Amino acid sequence: MKSKKEQAEFYYLLLAGTFIALLVTCNLIFQKFFVWEPFGWYRFEISAGLIPYPLTFLVTDLISEIYGKKRANQVVKAGLVTTVIVMVVVMISSSVPATLWSPVNDAEFSKVFGLTGVAVTASMLAYLFAQFVDIKVFHFLKNLTKGKHLWLRNNFSTITSQFIDTNVVLLLLCSLGAIEWKLFGPLLLSGFLFKIIVALLDTPLFYLFTYLFKKKFGLDDCQEIEFL
């Protein structure tokens, strides 16, 4: 039978692994753009990388709520290191010539992963800034409300940080020539609105997981797990 400390460590690693998996995935699939018209009156044109990315904020909010600010910041830093490693591996893979019989030739590989270095550099700078803002705002609101109103800190911290993230990453991508400036406005609006929708939709999940964690470890509104 695992102790409470061992269980807490396991769930922390599971959340951290989920966060890193989502982060790495969004940086590998960002070059595919798709159309989404959920309401009929607005046409979203967004990167496939935006599908998993907003969920990273749900995970950091959960870690912040259950394990505290220090643990959330550690996961954000681990995500940066992991993404840099993946970027280096992709760049090395791009530099080696494909064989004549390779199912994926150099041109195809470059088309999919050719902008990975530029895009990841831009997204990681935006990512760091946005995630640290998210964690800081989350804990400010948690202390201000004395642990009450989960929806407020979950949504307000995420929406604030997502606006910053969307602006910064698009500004960098346009400045680096990866995206034309004329697309800045439409992509900013579509990306930010999409992230707001996801943030609102994942609020019930935040409540559910917070309830389950706090019940399992006997935490009150303001308590956090401190196992190391």
* Residue among 67, 69, 71, 59 nearest 8 (CA): 67
pLDDT band at 228 (very low <50, low <70, confident <90, very high): very low
Q: Which residues, 6 or more positions from 216, have their beta carbon under 8 angstroms from its beta carbon?
A: 7
Q: 3-state DSSP call for residue 36?
A: strand
Domains of the chain: 4-217 (1.10.1760)
Q: What's residue 115's pLDDT?
A: 61
Question: Six-digit token pair at 33?
Answer: 């753009």
Q: Look at residue 153 and give its three-state secondary structure.
A: helix
Q: Is 121's pLDDT higher than 80?
A: no
Q: Which residues pair with 46 in a beta bridge?
A: 34
Determine the average pLDDT of the residues in 165-194.
Answer: 83
Question: What pLDDT score does 185 carry?
Answer: 87
pLDDT given for residue 1 in this prediction: 67
Please, are residues 27 and 123 in contact by the beta-carbon 8 Å criterion? Answer: yes
Whole-angstrom CA distances from 172 to 66, 126, 136, 219 are 34, 9, 23, 42
Is the pLDDT confidence value at 98 over 70? Answer: yes
pLDDT reported for residue 120? 67
Lowest mean pLDDT among 42-51, 119-128, 169-178: 119-128
Residues 209, 41: Cα–Cα separation, whole Å: 34
What DSSP character marks residue 184? H
Q: Average of pLDDT values for 6-17?
A: 94
pLDDT at 140 (0 to 100): 92
Burial 166-200 (b: 16+ CB within 10 A, else e): bbbbbbbbbeeebbeeeeeeebbebbbebbbebbe
Q: Are 90 and 79 in contact (CB under 8 A)?
A: no
Q: How confident is the model at residue 62 (pLDDT cuts 50, 70, 90)?
A: very high
